[in-house]
Amino acid sequence: MTINQEGWLVEARHCPSPNFDHRPQETRVSLLVVHNISLPPGQFGNEYIEAFFTNQLDPKQHPFFDVIKDMKVSAHCLIKRTGEIVQFVSFNDRAWHAGQSSFAGVERCNDYSIGIELEGTDYVAYTAEQYQSLSDLSCQIMLTYPQINLNRITGHQFIAPLRKTDPGLSFDWKHYFAQIST
Ligand SMILES: [Zn+2]
């Protein structure tokens, strides 16, 4: 895999989101945050997440969409059940994925992190293709942003423990870390 100078993964499908801004000056990209998302909750294999992250969700398609349609959020990447990687925001910019959060005593994780969403839920096992894509992408991110290392990869549930539960019990951290440690 290749991340270009502008912070885009060459191999990803690019789906630029307006929901980003610049990282604060002098901020080093130094944390990787794993998430999950599915829209509607528990349903996979559609284009609703891409629509959500680009503010194009149609509230008529599902009652839940009416609740979330005005949320301005994003992540750097989404890894679909097939393993396909979709990128919404340059890794050099600040995506809006973590919200109020804290890692190792430092708040506002969006400022200094990369957010990767897995298409999934807290209780449904992720696919082998997703682990493979996530591992390949994580290794490339660690090469490009060397302040990210195995001790600085976490889940949304750990940086916002009172609010968030993703990527959940279904995410096999041991398997993931074994894949990226080799
Ligand atoms: Zn999350």
Give one word for 131, left, alpha or beta, with left for phi > 0 and alpha for psi -120 to 50. Answer: alpha
Distance CA 180, CA 111 (A): 24
CB atoms within 10 A of CB 75: 28
pTM over 0.75: yes
> Along the 182 residues of the chain, how does pLDDT read in single tens digits?
999 999 999 999 999 999 999 999 999 999 999 999 999 999 999 999 999 999 999 999 999 999 999 999 999 999 999 999 999 999 999 999 999 999 999 999 999 999 999 999 999 999 999 999 999 999 999 999 999 999 999 999 999 999 999 999 999 999 999 999 97
When computed from its CA atoms, the radius of gyration of the chain, rounded to whole angstroms, is 15
Among the listed residues 47, 84, 107, 117, the single catalytic one is 117
107 is catalytic: no
Tokens of 112: 């200094």
SS3 state at 53: helix
Ligand 1 centroid distance, CA of 102 (Å): 13
- From ligand 1's centre to the CA of 77, what distance in Å? 12
* Residues in contact with 178: Cβ distance below 8 Å, sequence separation at least 6, in sequence order: none
Question: How far is the centre of ligand 1, averaged over its atoms, from the C-alpha of 159 (Å)?
Answer: 10
